[in-house]
Structures are given as C-alpha cells and as structure tokens.
C-alpha cells in the first residue's frame, strides 16, 4: 500500500514537472492565472502590425505592451458582463451566421462545379423550347395531365415533326406563336440550373428528354453551340423612330451624320450633338461593356459583334428603338478561370446551383454527426395538422403522446415531434402557402431539418475549425472593447466639460497657432501673367477684374483662393514674408503633373502673430487627447486590478 502511494506521488511530481515545462514553453503571460499562449500573440501581432503607426512599437517585444492592454480590456469587458448585452449578442450572432455560411459553402463548392460554371460561360447554346405549365404544388391529377401532354408533344418532335411548328401550336410560353419557343443564345447562369443542364447535355440537332422546373414541363431542341464572343465596348449614335419620325427621315439624318464621320469629324462629338439615346449621348455614345445576349436587341448585337477592329464603324442598322451607327471601342478578352474564381464562387452560392451545395453540406453534417431520423415523421403530421395550416391559422396544442418522441438526432442533441410542431405553427405565418397540405408539411420539414443541421454545425464549427474560431474571437473582442471604451471613456468624457477645460488649461502649450495671414492667393503658370497680377493687385484691382483681364473664353490663366494661411502650410513658399500688402512673385517650381512652372502672388489683408488656440477652435483635437489621457490612467488602474505575469523566457524566444 505504501509502495503504491509512493508511485502515485512520484507520478504526480513527474506529471506536474512535465506540465510546468510545457507551460513555460507555450504560455506568454498569465492574466489572473489565466494563460495566454504565444501562438495567440503571434497571430494577433502578424495580423495587426501594419496598422501600428509608431515604428518603435513594431518589434515583437515592444508590441507586447499593446497586446497586454488588449487582453486587459477584454477581461474587463467580460467582468462588466458586456457580453450579456442583447445588442452585442445580436450583432455577434449575425456575424457568426454570415461567416459560418461562408465556411459551409466553401468546403462543398467543388472544383468540378467551378469548372462546369466556367466552361458554360465560355460556350453558349442556341435552343428552342416547348413549355407545358404546371406549378410545383399542383395536384397529382393536374401534374399527370401536363406530363401526358408534354409526352405526346415529345413523341411528335422525335417522329420528325417541325419543332417550331409544334412550339407555336402547343407551347404555353408567352408569345409562343410569335417566337416559336426561340431562346436565342444563352450561356451559364442564363437559365434556371436544371434547364441549363439539359441544354448543355443535349447534342446539336437533337430534342431533349422531358424536364421539370418551377415553371412546368419542358422539352427543348438545341440548334447550335459556339464559343462565347468576347465582351465588347461600343459607342453608338441613335436617331429615334418614335415621336412621329418616320423610318425614312431617321435613316436620312443618320446617313448625314455618317458622312460627317467619314469626312473626319469626331464620333463622340457628333454623338453628344445628335444622338437621341439619353443614356449614352453625354458620354459620346459609349455604352457599358456587354456580352452576347445581354442587350434587348439582337439586331444591334449582330452588327456590333461583327465589327472586327477597334475604331471600325458600322453602316446604319435598324432596331425597335430607331436607327443606329455603331463604333467598336474595345474587345475584352475572356478572363481565365483563376481570374474569375471568386466571382464564380459568389454566383454559385447565390443562384439555384446552391441547392447542390446545400444538399452536399447537409449530407456531410449528417454523416459526420451520426444523424438519425424517425422513419415516418410526415405520416403522423399529415393527420395531426389540419387544413387550417393552408390558411396560416393552425394552432398547436400538445395533446398527443407521440409529440414527446424523437423526430431526429444530430450527435448528442435530440429534437422531438413537438419541436417540429412548434416550428410549423410559427413558420406558417410567413411562408409560401402550397395548395396541398402534404406538400406544405414536406416543405416545412425540409426547412426544419436543414435549420437544425446548420445550427448544430455552427455550434461545433468554433470547436473544430481554428481559423473560424480565431475570426469569431477577434470580432467578439473587437465589439466588446468598443462597448467598453464607449461606456468607460468616450461617453463619460463627452459629459465632463470641467475635466476637458482643466485638461486644456494644463496642456495649453501643445495647442498653438503659428503665424498666419488672411490673404488672397493668385496662381498662374506664366511669369508675365504673374507680374501683371502683382501690378493689378497693387492697383487695388479685384479678383473678378483680374480674371476678366487675363482669362479669355475657355483659357484660364489665373486662379484665386482667399483663405487663412498658417506658417508650415504647404501652399506658402519657404521664404514667405508675413506682412500686409502685395507680396513679391514667388516661383514655386514645376507642377509634378504637368511639368509646367507655377507662380503665386499674395495680397495679405491681415497678419496674426503666434498665439494659443482657443478651446472652441480645436475642441475635437483636445477631446481626442483628453480621451487618450483618461485611457492611459484607466489602463494603469486595470494593471493594478489584474495580476499580469510575463513569461520572460517566452518573450526572449519571440525573436528567435
């Protein structure tokens, strides 16, 4: 028994010694015996060092003082329970939601999905389609009727009947008789994702299988595939055929303008004078860059993309808006995948492609945390919930024993049938209402399951992902320190007018005006004009009189500025004489932008000697200094309040 006790004691000593060695190596400091690790300091240091203005504090050992202040403020904020403030919690949770979504999506947006999106942005498809409408919540009977109709049309198309004729006859798309289902050219993200998939997976000349979207059942025929033309920037001059102007009159006016361009007149100048497109005329007719299929006029696009070289100008072209001549300004090369990666990620996340990502996210969470689900939860709710849910009026009363059972488990957290019933009662008030109760409840269940999966993931993400945890900690500490400073320094100082006055009086020597002059300054790029300005000022000519004498038309030879100029102001020459009257001409050298000389002349009305600045003149500056003073005193109090111990060995190794 004694031997056992001896070995237990020895084991404890060895363990304690081992832990002390580890602590000495990894702990930079303790704050009331709470360890702060070297890794945390280095992470904060490397992230924030560029924001440190004082060069003397940029070394690791020097920065340590700032870091200690940061940790002291954070601890004080928790001691004051600022983390329990509802507004703080709301803002932090909002940030967590946004950040966690980024982590959820970034892990599941696969390279395959990014590559697919990029490929489909560089190749476009031309297709016609036929639509038979049926809503997502249609009854089985209505769904079957629509499906049988589209099946019959597909059989006709594959039997060789003309697709456009079938579209005009049967399609329920608006303007089907006129357009024959023509979609023109489109590329990735141009259609809903299921439709896009079928279009890109159907060979040219073939008719697709039936697909269903939120609009109904479709079949489509692919007419062509081609590389996406480079985006272009063009300018145009338009003569409108509206306002009782005939086609012939508009075309004649445009021909006259085109003749003047061919004679050498500037396209942009003529656009400003004559174009009737209010959105572009003031910019010389220039339009925002666009790609194929982006404009409301295929006629305009066809002519614009046919222009080969920058500077080429088209012949007049007719559109629904009027007659145009078009000038190619630039062809923009298609960006590489890497150049578009961030934009592709954003578009995948914010479009219906995200459904693939959401499913992948949910499947991963289910697998990782051993998700278990009741076999038939909806069978119970289809009976338990009445049709009043379709009128947003269903009330949940807990009167069934099954409500206490588990509907699904995520990890060690169980959700009951009662939890889902409460969700239905709340969700019905703001959700889209379906025509059928079964579809409504199925939609609610999918939402409920996804919400709880995401909640569980977010809770555990901070424990499992160090990068995410660090970002949350930094944001949380930043919010807390802001609230702490607001409560303890900034707001009290604004109310402390006596303290501010006392601080100002004690530090008056820090707030001085240098010598100043109230003067009119004249600036010119010409030495002869400068001499004339000096002479005119000496003869008491006004600013307006001098401008009238020296400026002509669009030629501006002199610019004036009347202001209070202080010694040290970059505008004043180094050898400026502080005396009333008209100064000599100062040659201040060449302008860095134009390489032209600059000359200035002053007419000084009043000279002010060096003097103390009045508090009202610099209240903002004094307030800032006063707050810094209060913060220094307060930080000293915090250092006395909390026991800070620095691990000197760890500090010494920071620069190793």
Residue 111 confidence (pLDDT) = 83
Whole-angstrom distance, CA of residue 288 vs CA of residue 613: 52
The radius of gyration of the chain's CA atoms, rounded to the nearest angstrom, is 38
Q: How many CB atoms lie within 10 A of CB 188?
A: 23
Given this model, what pLDDT does residue 109 score? 67
Q: Determine whether 77 is exposed, middle or buried from the number of CB atoms within 10 Å of its CB (0-12, 13-18, 19+).
A: buried
CATH number belonging to the domain at 231-332, selected among 3.10.50.40, 3.40.190.10, 3.10.450.50, 1.20.140.10: 3.10.50.40
Query: H or E element: which one contains 304?
Result: helix 298-306
What does the pLDDT average to over 594-601? 71
Instruction: Render pLDDT for 490-506 as a digit per residue (tens, 0 to 9).
Output: 999 999 999 999 999 99
Structural tokens at position 216:
């109904």
Mean pLDDT computed over 618-636: 95
d(CA 305, CA 294): 12
Of residues 291 and 309, the one with the higher pLDDT is 309
The predicted structure's pLDDT at residue 409: 97
CA distances from 232 to 185, 269, 313, 320, 338 (A): 16, 21, 14, 21, 21
Residues 227, 228, 229, CA angle at the centre, nearest 5°? Answer: 110
For 11, half-sphere exposure in the C-beta direction (CA atoms, 13 angstrom radius) is: 6
Distance CA 194, CA 212 (A): 8
Say which residue, 252 or 620, is predicted with more confidence.
Answer: 620
What HEC string does 504-570 produce? Answer: HHHCHHHCEECCEEEEEEEEECCHHHHHHHHHHHHCCCCHHHHHHHHCECCECCCEEEEEEEECCCC
Sequence-ordered alpha helix ranges (H) in 109-214: 111-122, 140-158, 163-170, 176-179, 193-200
Q: Which residue has the higher pLDDT, 332 or 11?
A: 332
Predicted pLDDT of residue 11? 33
Q: What is the pLDDT of residues 113-143, one digit of tens each?
A: 899 999 999 999 999 999 999 999 898 999 9
Quick one: tokens of 488? 């303890």
Q: Higher model confidence: residue 3 or residue 571?
A: 571
CB atoms within 10 A of CB 134: 22
Closest CA to 404 of 393, 415, 389, 413: 415
Is the pLDDT assigned to residue 310 strictly greater than 90?
Answer: yes
Of 21-30, 470-479, 595-604, which has the strongest mean pLDDT? 470-479
- Integer Cα distance of 372 and 378 in angstroms: 15
Angle of helix 337-350 relative to helix 111-122, nearest 10 degrees? 100
pLDDT tens-place string over residues 407-462: 999 999 999 999 999 999 999 999 999 999 999 999 999 999 999 998 898 888 88
Q: Which of the four CATH numbers 3.30.70.270, 3.40.630.10, 3.10.50.40, 3.40.640.10 does domain 113-227 have?
A: 3.10.50.40
**Would you place residue 554 in the very low, low, confident or very high pLDDT band (cuts 50, 70, 90)?**
low
**What DSSP state is assigned to residue 221?**
E
What is the C-alpha separation between 290 and 50, in angstroms, rounded? 40
- If DSSP codes are grouped into helix, strand and coil, which group holds residue 10? helix
The pLDDT assigned to 18 comes to 37
326, 264 in Cβ contact below 8 A?
A: no
- Mean residue pLDDT across the chain: 89
328 contacts 311 by C-beta, under 8 angstroms: yes
User: Is the overall model pTM greater than 0.75, yes or no?
Assistant: no
Is pLDDT at 57 greater than 70 in this prediction? no
**Range scoring the smallest mean pLDDT among 231-235, 367-371, 449-453, 594-598:** 594-598
Residue 25 is predicted with a pLDDT of 57
Interstrand relation of 216-227 and 123-133 (parallel, antiparallel or unpaired): antiparallel
Average pLDDT over residues 521-547: 92
- Rounded Cα–Cα distance for residues 353 and 358 (Å): 9
User: Tens of pLDDT along 334-349?
Assistant: 899 999 999 998 898 8
Looking at the predicted structure, is the pLDDT value of residue 537 above 50?
yes
CATH topology assigned to domain 1-109+475-491+631-656: Triger factor/SurA peptide-binding fold (1.10.4030)
Residue 53 pLDDT > 80, yes or no?
A: no
pLDDT band at 656 (very low <50, low <70, confident <90, very high): low
Predicted pLDDT of residue 8: 34
Residue 293 confidence (pLDDT): 77
What residue spans of 405-465 are helical by DSSP H? 417-427, 437-464
Reported as a single tens digit per residue, the pLDDT across 160-198 is 999 999 999 999 999 999 999 999 889 999 999 999 999
Tokens representing 459 are: 């809770």
More confident residue, 264 or 579: 579
- Rounded CA gap, 406 and 414, in Å? 6
CA-closest candidate to residue 359, choices 553, 193, 501: 193
What percentage of the chain reaches a pLDDT higher than 90? 67
Q: Residue 521 in contact with residue 565, Cβ under 8 Å?
A: yes
pLDDT of amino acid 588 = 83
Residues 617, 41: contact at Cβ < 8 Å?
A: no
Residues contacting 647, CB < 8 A, separation 6+: 24, 27, 28, 29, 30
Burial label, 482 (beta-carbon count in 10 A; 0-12, 13-18, 19+): middle
Q: What is the pLDDT of residues 79-102, one digit of tens each?
A: 999 999 999 999 999 999 889 877
Q: Where along the chain do its domains lie?
A: 1-109+475-491+631-656, 113-227, 231-332, 369-464, 512-612
pLDDT at 67 (0 to 100): 93
pLDDT, mean of residues 247-276: 87
Domains 113-227 and 231-332 share a fold: yes
Q: Per the structure block, which two tokens stand in for 21? A: 């060695």
**pLDDT of 61 higher than 90:** no
Q: How far apart are CA 618 and CA 35, in angstroms?
A: 44
Question: Measuring CA to CA, how many Å separate 580 from each of 469, 518, 519, 583, 586?
Answer: 65, 9, 9, 8, 16
Nearest alpha-carbon partner for 410 in 462, 375, 371: 371
What one-character DSSP code corresponds to residue 175? T
Task: Please give the Cα distance from 256 to 239 (Å, whole number).
Answer: 11
Q: What DSSP line would sit under 582-608, residue for residue?
A: E-PPEEEEE-TTT--EEEEEEEEEEEE
Which residue, 41, 14, 46, is CA-closest to 30? 41
């Amino acid at each position: 028994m004694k031997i056992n006790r001896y070995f237990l004691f020895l084991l404890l000593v060895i363990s304690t010694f081992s832990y002390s060695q580890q602590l000495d190596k990894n702990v930079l400091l303790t704050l009331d015996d709470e360890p702060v690790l070297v890794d945390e300091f280095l992470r904060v240091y490397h992230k924030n060092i560029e924001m440190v203005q004082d060069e003397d504090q940029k070394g690791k050992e020097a920065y340590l003082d700032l870091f200690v202040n940061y940790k002291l403020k954070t601890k004080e904020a928790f001691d004051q329970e600022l983390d329990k403030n509802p507004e703080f919690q709301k803002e932090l949770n909002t940030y967590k939601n946004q950040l966690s979504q980024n982590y959820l999506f970034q892990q599941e947006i696969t390279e395959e999905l990014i590559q697919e999106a990029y490929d489909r942005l560089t190749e476009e498809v031309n297709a016609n389609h036929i639509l038979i409408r049926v809503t997502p919540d249609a009854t089985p009977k209505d769904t079957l009727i629509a499906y049988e109709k589209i099946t019959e049309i597909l059989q006709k198309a594959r039997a060789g009947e003309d697709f456009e004729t079938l579209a005009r006859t049967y399609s329920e798309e608006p303007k089907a008789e006129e357009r024959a289902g023509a979609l023109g050219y489109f590329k990735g993200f141009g259609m809903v994702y299921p439709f896009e998939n079928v279009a890109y997976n159907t060979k040219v000349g073939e008719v697709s299988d039936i697909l269903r979207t939120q609009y109904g059942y479709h079949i489509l025929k692919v007419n062509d595939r081609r590389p996406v033309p480079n985006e272009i920037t063009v300018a145009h001059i338009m003569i409108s055929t509206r306002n009782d102007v005939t086609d012939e009159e508009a075309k004649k006016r445009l021909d006259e303008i085109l003749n003047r361009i061919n004679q050498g007149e500037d396209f942009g100048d003529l656009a400003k004078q004559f174009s009737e497109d209010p959105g572009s005329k003031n910019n010389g007719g220039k339009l925002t860059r666009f790609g194929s299929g982006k404009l409301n006029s295929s006629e305009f696009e066809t002519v614009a993309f046919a222009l080969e070289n920058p500077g080429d100008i088209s012949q007049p072209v007719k559109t629904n808006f009027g007659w145009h001549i078009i000038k190619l300004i630039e062809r923009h090369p298609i960006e590489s995948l890497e150049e578009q990666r961030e934009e592709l990620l954003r578009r995948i996340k914010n479009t219906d492609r995200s459904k693939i990502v959401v499913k992948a996210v949910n499947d991963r969470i289910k697998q990782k945390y051993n998700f278990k689900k009741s076999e038939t939860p909806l069978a119970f709710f289809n009976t338990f919930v009445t049709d009043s849910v379709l009128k947003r009026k269903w009330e949940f009363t807990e009167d069934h024993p099954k409500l206490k059972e588990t509907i699904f488990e995520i990890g060690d957290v169980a959700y009951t049938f009662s939890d889902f019933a409460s969700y239905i009662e709340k969700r019905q008030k703001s959700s889209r209402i379906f025509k059928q109760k079964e579809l409504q409840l199925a939609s609610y269940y999918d939402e409920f399951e996804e919400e709880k999966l995401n909640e569980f993931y977010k809770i555990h993400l901070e424990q499992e992902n160090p990068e995410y945890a660090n970002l949350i900690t930094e944001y949380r500490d930043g919010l807390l320190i802001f609230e702490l400073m607001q409560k303890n320094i900034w707001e009290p100082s604004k109310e402390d007018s006596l303290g501010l006055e006392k601080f100002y009086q004690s530090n008056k020597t820090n707030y001085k005006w240098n010598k100043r002059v109230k003067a009119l300054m004249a600036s010119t790029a010409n030495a002869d004009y400068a001499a004339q300005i000096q002479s005119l000022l000496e003869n008491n000519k006004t600013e307006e009189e001098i401008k009238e004498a020296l400026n002509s038309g669009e030629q501006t030879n002199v610019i004036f500025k009347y202001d209070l100029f202080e010694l040290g102001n970059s505008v004043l020459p180094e050898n400026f004489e502080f005396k009333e009257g008209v100064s000599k001409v100062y040659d201040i050298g060449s302008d860095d932008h134009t390489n032209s000389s600059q000359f200035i002349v002053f007419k000084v009305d009043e000279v002010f000697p060096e003097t103390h600045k009045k508090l009202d003149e610099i209240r903002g500056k004094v307030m800032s200094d006063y707050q810094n003073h209060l913060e220094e005193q307060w930080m000293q109090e915090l250092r006395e309040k909390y026991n800070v111990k620095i691990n000197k060995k760890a500090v010494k190794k920071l620069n190793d």
